[in-house]
Structure 1
Amino acid sequence: MERLTTGDTRPIGFFDSGVGGLTVVKEALKQLPNERVIYLGDTARCPYGPRPQEQVERFSLELANFLVQHDIKLLVIACNTATSFALDAIRARLTIPVVGVIVPGARAALKATHKKKIGVIGTQGTIQSAAYTKALVAKDPQVQVEALACPRFVPVVESNQFHSPTAKKVVFETLRAFQPLQIDTLILGCTHYPLLRPIIQNYLGSGVTLIDSGAETISEVSTLLDYFELAAPPSQEVQHHEFYTTGSAKLFQEIAHSWLQLQDLAVTHVPLTELGGKPHAS
C-alpha cells in the first residue's frame, strides 16, 4: 500500500541588512533541498552595524512583517546585528518559530576550539552588544573571547568587491589586531563575512578554524522543522525561491547569482514605503 506523503509546503523566510544573509540561504539550499525560500535584504538601509538598537529593532520588525505576509512557516534572522538587537522583540510578536544566528555559531565554536581561545569578528553593533561573548561564556565560563569590530567589511561585500585587491587590503589591515592573540577559532559574526572567507583564512592561516554562524544556523532550522512537523515533503520539482531587496535589484541579482548559482534567479525591488508597522501573529 502506497504511503501518502504529508508536509508543510509553506516557505521559510530569511532577512538581512543586505546580501550577507545569502550565505545562510546557500547553506539552506544545500541542507534543505525540499524547502522554498523567501528572502528580503534591506540593502537601502545597510549597514545595520553602526545604527542604534532601537532603529535596528524597528527595521527588523518591518522586514519580519513583510515576510509574515508571505505566509512563511519559520523565520530566520540571517543577520547578526538584527539577532543581537531584535530577536526577543520578534519572537514576542510571532507565533511561528524564529531562529537567530548567534547561539548556533557560539555552540559550533565551542566544539571546535582546543585552547578555549575564541575570536569573534562582527559589525560594531554586534560586537558592542557582546552577544557572542555572553553566549560563549554562558556555555563555558572558562573560555577566553577576543572580539573585534570590522566596519569596513560589509561595504566591500555590498559593493560586490569581495574578490578584489581592495577586499584583501581591507581584511589584512583590519585583522592585524589579532596578530598577537593565540586564538584557534574565529567566529565570522556577520553573515556578510563568509564571502570574504578565503581572504580571512589566508591571513590567519590554517591553524585557525573559521566558524560560519549561518551554516550552523541551518542545522538548527532543520531540527526545528522536524520537531514542529513543518518540513516540506520530498519533491522532484524545482523550487521557486523569491528574492526581494530594498536597494538595487540589479546589483543584488549579480551578487546572488554569483554566490548561489541558481537558474532563473529573479530579484524584486521593494520600496521602503511598502515596509512599516509591526509583525502580527500568524
Structure 2
Amino acid sequence: MSQSDSRPIGLFDSGVGGLSVLNATRLALPGENLIYLGDTARVPYGTKSSLSITRYAEQALKALLRYDIKTLVVACNTAAAAALDALQASYPELHIIGVIDPGARAAVNVTRTGKIGVIATESTVNNQAYQKAILSLMPDANVKSAGCSLFVALAEEGWHEGELVEAIVKRSLSGLFDHYRDSDDYPDTLVLGCTHFPALKTAISRVVGDSVSLVDSAVTTAAVVKKQLTDRGMLNPGSDGYVRFLVTDGPERFARVAPRFYSETIEAEQVELIDIQHFV
C-alpha cells in the first residue's frame, strides 16, 4: 500500500450546499487537494426522480474522474440517498463516501431519548435513507421525517433568518414538533438532512427550541474521509493543498452565494464552468 497519495479528493453537490462539507474537509485535511463540483444548472435535486438523480450523479462522477480523483465524497444528501449504492457498484475500485451514514451516526451519538427527527428534501425522505441508517445503528430509535425542499431555495437565495423565514420553518416543521409537543415522542435531536439546511440553523433552532440538538453531517463526513485516507495510507504528503471549483451554470452567482457555506473567499474567476450532460 502506498504511504502517500497526492491525487485530489472529489466532492459534488447539486449546488452550493455541499460547500459546507468542503469547508469541513478543508479544515480537517488542509494538506489535501480538493475539487468541488456544483451541478448548479440542475439544482435542486430534491424534487427530481431517483432515476434522474442517479443519472446526474453518474455524470458528476465521470466529470470528476477526468481529474484522477482518489476518493469521491457525495456531498449531497439527495444524491447519496438515491445513487450511492449504484455509484459504488459501478466503480468498486473508487472509494466513495456519502453524507448520510456519518449524519446518522452523529444523531445516534447525540440523542438522549432515541426520538430523532430528520428533515430533508422530498426525494431523501421518500428513500428513507436516514431512517434505515439510524435504525441499523439504533434499532429501537423512533425516527420521524419531514420533507422541506423549500429550505433549499431559501438557502440558495440567502434568506436565512427573520420573521418570514421562521414562519416558513415553523410551518414546515409543524408535523414533526407541534403534533408531538406534549407527548413522549417529541424529538430531542433533529438531523439537518440536506447540506443546504445548516444555513438556516439559527431559524430552525429558534423554532424547535434549545432542548433539540441539531445534527449537521458535514463535520462527521470530513472525519470519515480523514480516517479512511489515513487507514489506507493515502494522505497527501503536502501541507497546503489546492481547492478547485467547477460548476455547470452561473460561476458569478456561485461565488456570490458561497460565503454562506464556505469560510474562504472565492472569486468568480476561480470558478470554472463545465458541461457534464454529455457524460452518460
- Do they fold alike, i.e. is TM over 0.5? yes
Alpha carbons of 1:129 and 1:58: their partners in 2 closer, same or farther (altered >3 Å)? same
2-side partners of 1:53 and 1:203: how far apart? 31
Counterparts of 1:142-181 in structure 2 under 5 Å?
Answer: 142-163=140-161, 166-177=164-175, 178-181=177-180
String of CA shifts for 1:220-253, please: whole Å, max 9, x gaps: 1111001111111242x4x321111112111110
Identical positions, percent: 38
Report which stretch shifted further, 127-136 or 157-166. 157-166
Three-state SS of the structure 2 residue aligned to 1:220 is: helix
Three-state SS of the structure 2 residue aligned to 1:10 is: coil
The corresponding residue for 1:200 is 204
The corresponding residue for 2:259 is 257
1-side partners of 2:156 and 2:164: how far apart? 13
CA contact (8 A) 1:23 1:195 kept: no
String of CA shifts for 1:86-132, please: whole Å, max 9, x gaps: 10111122212100011111111111111110000000000001111
CA contact (8 A) 1:11 1:73 kept: yes
Counterparts of 1:98-247 in structure 2 under 5 Å?
Answer: 98-163=96-161, 166-177=164-175, 178-181=177-180, 182-235=186-239, 237=240, 239-247=241-249
What is the CA distance between 1:165 and its match in structure 2?
5.0
What is the CA distance between 1:164 and its match in structure 2?
5.7
Q: Does 1:17 align with 2:46?
A: no
CA contact (8 A) 2:7 2:33 kept: yes
2-side partners of 1:87 and 1:258: how far apart? 26
Query: Aligned residue pairs: how many?
Result: 269
When normalised by structure 2's length, the TM-score is: 0.91
2-side partners of 1:263 and 1:81: how far apart? 27
Structure 1 stretches of at least 4 aligned residues deviating more than 6 Å after TM superposition: none
Alpha carbons of 1:70 and 1:121: their partners in 2 closer, same or farther (altered >3 Å)? same
CA contact (8 A) 2:35 2:245 kept: yes
Unmatched segments (≥5 aa) in structure 1: 1-5, 278-282
String of CA shifts for 1:24-68, please: whole Å, max 9, x gaps: 011111111111210111111111111111111001000011111
CA contact (8 A) 1:39 1:243 kept: yes
Give RMSD over aligned pairs: 1.6
